[in-house]
Chain A
């Protein structure tokens, strides 16, 4: 039953620009329950120790390892080879700056996004170390948690036609982040203040509705719903005229 897997992997090392980007082939025997985390580490340790890729948690919770797996963005650590054909093509995510081979710089991109969206709780309330916490009902806490589950892996951004064309589009992850703060009662921003940032072509109007993001998200965040929520709140806010 054991297969031989044929990997075709994108290679480029910015330190040696004289060697142009290329696809390199590797072979590996498949073992039971083998994930791309296991496979790539074996390739590095056994065949080519210069192979660059990023893993941190290897448990699908940190968002480090997204790449194009046979053309589709996904988390490599939770992708099992048994679910793939015996020819596996691995490419770095588009949109993000390449570090080398399969490694891309999602961190700086997301920090920029969070700065632009001012993605933090805006409140004037001073913190009282002696006081009790403010109350919140549990369903509200769960709704915030649902949106907060995004791990900034960049898959939805890489899958997005708009993001691939315009560097400043905030993408599904950005819109989901907006939704997260809109539903949080602790954030004292008025909706119109949020929409000054997102009611533009880089924001909600950038989305052309292909919805590739929705079934790509490894955290199964209902991105389409979140986008609808942002649009609805925005329509309401403009009706109220600020």
Chain B
């Protein structure tokens, strides 16, 4: 390595999704030099795939009148099954309206309120008032007392990301795309930067900064079948875990979305049900009211997903070559509504199922969707364990979502956290001077160069990276899914441990030279296996059911013993994570009944 290759900047943001770009904007606006790293051009980040919308208690529509941050707060805490940090939830709910309105000023074409009377699918008539005409419109999402999800047709993530990136372009923030952070540079106390791998040519480069922010999104792809983009492998989380001192919070809290299409796993938005869509079984019976008479299809995601699996286990699923599924029915919403407000859903059905959802039913099944867990931070976004390291967005466990995230709260989180954490990062960077710890940088680079050259030399080992990865996906999918048992989780842990050992012996089949996808996969796999082990081990140890974490052998929430957050550390050289626990902060709303999801729900 030549020292002159090192890239110096005030703030290094790893990840160019909504969270990363919002942090970058805040720091750049406050006068810092900012560099963003991303696997892909910012506008291709996974955030662009979000369809349905973003929650903020504006109270603009008839079904949302009277909404305020207090009601949003209560919904969020109940949704989390009391697993969230209430100080964070309060801060978030207060700021979400500001975030939505600022995005409007930056160019998001939010759908707007059209005054007049209209009939909802269930037969209720509502009137949108003239005085609210032209304000930001809101739709219903699951688990909320009021309609508060702001949307732009069903391309909300796309327009948010484009508006956000337009500000990044305007401010001239440096973006290095096709650059993957593969290790942090740290001394066990401070974080000084990261080693990045160029996905253009396979070279390595050190980045040094006063403050480093991880905003790398979720890890959904380690499950194989997921609604997530294929780049979502959680590497930002695994490089933090690799430090040995930064813990990951609540990794066992994995969200499954009720409506991934079968077999592709592509999501159709919760807006489908929020706007009045039904779930039907093989007899075309609408079954959700049988289980959830009040919330029906719009109970929280964990609950709807469980009832769906439960219903299929009674033999009421629709058989297909890809296993049983259920139907999502939006036909009664009408062509106009579907082609305007659910336009991307219509396109997805046409492209990937070859059906017209105005006239046909959509085959769906609960599918891995979101990671509530992640890099544990305090309310300011500062990561536990290393100074100068921050995290925001889906990669972080800030902890707004506890054991279940409400739909629409994630887009809102990325932006609100971007504002809050960005502010803290700017302050932190303002108080420090840039350091260039030569020995640390040299060591960190040498360690990564060594991994790369070992793989390229193709000397030792015989394991195939894609086979090992498939093993990991299957172990998680089969044993760490919606319904969990001690037995299956133990099995998952032992399979994953074995795969982790074997991942040290990968042998490339290709040369590994240049932009080589096999090399990239081989470099990522050990880290993703560590994440998988944190998930499985965390789930095994948590002998209760809370939110998305549902143990058939412990079907009740156990506040006495488990009102606490899991912290997973990976000690250097270990072959398993070490788990610790910390209390959950309850400031306003003591644990109580969620009002849906009466337990226990049986799997099979």
Contact between B229 and A15 (Cβ–Cβ < 8 Å)? no
CA distance A37 to B233 in the complex (A): 18
Known: A62-B44, A78-B351, A148-B162. A134 touches B137 (CB 8 A): no
Asked, given contacts A60-B347, A145-B109, whether A99 binds B515 with beta carbons under 8 Å apart, the answer is yes
Q: Which residues of A from 34 to 79 have beta carbons under 8 Å from B?
A: 35, 44-45, 48-52, 54-64, 78
Is B7 part of the contact surface with A, judged by Cβ < 8 Å?
A: no
Q: Measured between C-beta atoms, what is the minimum distance from B394 to chain A in Å?
A: 15
Chain A window 16-27, contacts with chain B (Cβ cutoff 8 Å), 1 for yes, 0 for no: 100000000000
**A78 in contact with B114 given A15-B513, A110-B41, A110-B43 (CB within 8 Å):** no
Closest B residue to A181 by beta carbon equals B107
**B residues in contact with A133, CB < 8 Å:** 100-101, 104-105, 110, 135-136
Give, as a whole number of angstroms, the nearest-CB distance from A47 to chain B. 10
Across the interface, do A59 and B49 meet the contact criterion of CB distance under 8 Å? yes
Q: How large is the interface on B (under 10, 10 to 19, 20 to 34, 35 or more residues)?
A: 35 or more
Contact B202 A64 (CB under 8 A): no
| A107 and B40 form a contact (CB under 8 A) | yes
B230 at the interface (CB under 8 A from A): yes
Given contacts A15-B202, A50-B517, A64-B40, contact A58 B229 (CB under 8 A): yes
Q: Are A142 and B175 in contact (CB under 8 A)?
A: no
Instruction: Report the separation of the CA atoms of residues A72 and B241 in the bound assembly, to the nearest whole angstrom.
Output: 45
Residue contacts A-B, CB under 8 angstroms, 29 given: A14-B201, A44-B518, A45-B466, A48-B510, A49-B517, A50-B511, A54-B40, A55-B230, A56-B44, A56-B230, A59-B264, A60-B347, A61-B49, A61-B155, A62-B43, A108-B41, A111-B41, A111-B175, A120-B167, A129-B98, A133-B100, A133-B101, A133-B105, A142-B109, A142-B111, A145-B159, A149-B158, A184-B107, A186-B105
CA distance A111 to B101 in the complex (A): 25
Interface string of B131-165 (1 = CB under 8 A from A): 00111110000000000000011010011001101
A residues near B178, Cβ cutoff 8 Å: 99, 105, 107
Question: Which residues of chain B have a CB within 8 Å of any CB of chain A?
Answer: 40-46, 48-49, 98, 100-102, 104-107, 109-114, 133-137, 152-153, 155, 158-159, 162-163, 165-167, 169-170, 175, 177-178, 200-202, 229-231, 263-264, 266-267, 321, 340, 344, 347-348, 351-352, 354, 465-466, 508-511, 513-518
A141 near B517 with CB under 8 A, answer no
Q: Which residues of B contact A145 (CB under 8 A)?
A: 109, 111, 152-153, 155, 159
Taking the nearest CB of chain A, how far is it from the CB of B494, in angstroms?
A: 25
Contacts of A240 in B (CB 8 A): none
- Residues of A in contact (CB 8 Å), total 65
Q: What is the distance, in angstroms, from A99's C-beta to the closest C-beta of chain B? A: 6
Q: Other CB < 8 Å A-B pairs besides A33-B263, A103-B515, 17 of them?
A: A14-B201, A15-B202, A45-B466, A49-B517, A52-B515, A58-B230, A59-B266, A61-B48, A63-B43, A80-B354, A99-B200, A107-B41, A120-B106, A136-B112, A138-B114, A141-B109, A141-B111
With both beta carbons as reference points, the residue of chain A lying nearest to B159 in the complex is identified as: A148
Please tell me if A197 contacts chain B, counting CB pairs below 8 Å: no
Q: Which chain A residue has the least Cβ–Cβ distance from B348?
A: A59
Q: Is the CB of A59 within 8 A of B517?
A: no
> Is A125 engaged at the interface, CB distance under 8 Å to the other chain?
yes
Contact with B along A129-156 (1 / 0, CB 8 A): 1011111111001101100110110000
Q: Is the CB of A49 within 8 A of B510?
A: yes
Give chain A residues whose Cβ lies under 8 Å from the Cβ of B114. 138
- How near does chain A come to B48, taking the closest CB pair, in angstroms? 6
Residue of A nearest to B465 (CB): A49
Known contacts A49-B518, A56-B46, A61-B158; decide if A13 and B513 are in contact (CB<8 Å). yes
Which residues of chain B are within 8 angstroms of A61 by Cβ–Cβ distance?
Answer: 48-49, 155, 158, 344
Please determine whether B229 and A57 come into contact, CB atoms closer than 8 angstroms. yes
Q: Cβ of B321 and Cβ of A59 under 8 Å apart?
A: no
For window 1-22 of chain A, which residues contact chain B by CB distance below 8 Å? 13-16
- Given known contacts A56-B44, A57-B49, A15 and B514 CB-to-CB distance under 8 angstroms: yes
Is the contact region of chain A dominated by helix, strand, or loop, or is it mixed? loop
B153 → A minimal CB distance (Å): 6
Instruction: Choose among A61, A148, A184 the residue with the greatest number of B CB atoms under 10 Å from its CB.
Output: A61
B514 contacts A14, C-beta separation under 8 Å: yes
Residue in chain A with minimal CB distance to B266? A59
A177 to B159, CA, bound (A): 13
A44 to chain B, nearest CB (A): 6
Q: Return the 5 tightest CB-CB contacts between A and B, nearest first.
A: A15-B514, A107-B41, A135-B134, A49-B518, A50-B510
Cα separation A71 to B510 with both chains bound (whole Å): 28
Cβ of A32 under 8 Å from chain B: yes
A61-116 residues at the B interface, CB under 8 angstroms: 61-64, 78, 80, 99-100, 103, 105-108, 110-111, 114-115
For A51, what are the chain B residues with a Cβ–Cβ distance below 8 Å? 517
Q: Are A108 and B177 in contact (CB under 8 A)?
A: yes
Question: In whole angstroms, what is the CA distance A50 to B508 when docked?
Answer: 10
Q: Is the CB of B109 within 8 A of A135?
A: no
Given contact pairs A49-B517, A56-B46, A114-B169, A120 touches B107 in the complex (Cβ within 8 A)? yes
- Residue in B177, B266, B340, B354 whose CB lies within 8 Å of A107: B177
- Among candidates B152, B170, B508, residue contacting A49 with C-beta atoms closer than 8 Å: B508
State the CA gap A151–B267 with chains docked (Å).
18
Who on chain B is nearest to A128 by CB?
A: B101
**A228 contacts the other chain (CB 8 A):** no
Identify A57's interface contact among B48, B136, B169, B514, CB under 8 A.
Answer: B48
> Residue A236 at the B interface, CB < 8 A?
no
Contact A152 B43 (CB under 8 A): yes
Which of chain B's residues have a CB closer than 8 A to the CB of A118?
170
Instruction: Please determine whether B166 and A149 come into contact, CB atoms closer than 8 angstroms.
Output: no
- Candidates A45, A62, A110, A119; contact of B229 at CB < 8 Å: A62
Q: What chain A residues lie within 8 Å of B134 (beta carbons)?
A: 135-138
Q: Report how far A149 CA is from B137 CA in the complex, Å.
A: 19
The residues of A that contact B518 with a CB separation of less than 8 Å are 44, 49-50
Tell me whether A129 and B158 are in contact (CB under 8 A): no
Residues of A within 8 A of B110 (CB): 133, 136, 141
Which residues of the partner chain B approach A115 to less than 8 Å between Cβ atoms? 169
Neighbouring B residues of A54 by C-beta, 8 Å? 40
Q: In the assembly, what is the distance between CA of A50 and CA of B515, in Å?
A: 8
Residues of B near A134 (CB, < 8 A) are 104-105
A121-B48 in contact given A59-B266, A107-B177 (Cβ < 8 Å): no
A137 pairs with B153, CB closer than 8 A: no
B132 and chain A: residue at smallest CB distance: A135
Taking CB atoms, residues of chain A closer than 8 Å to B514 are: 13-16, 100
Q: Does A190 make an interface contact (CB < 8 A)?
A: no
Separation of A35 and B46 alpha carbons in the complex (Å): 20
Known: A13-B515, A129-B102. A56 touches B340 (CB 8 A): no
A142 surroundings in chain B (CB, below 8 A): 109, 111, 153, 340
**Minimum C-beta distance from B81 to chain A (A):** 30
A31 to B516, CA, bound (A): 27
Query: Which A residues are CB-close (under 8 A) to B155?
Result: 61, 145, 148-149
Nearest opposing residue in chain B for A13, CB measure: B514
Q: Are B352 and A32 in contact (CB under 8 A)?
A: no
Bound-state CA distance A144–B104 (Å) is 12
In the complex, chain B residues whose CB is within 8 Å of the CB of A33: 263, 352, 354
Whole-angstrom CA separation of A100 from B198 in the bound complex: 13
Which single member of B45, B105, B267, B340 contacts A125 (CB below 8 Å)? B105
Our pick among A120, A125, A131 for the contact of B101 (Cβ within 8 Å) is A131
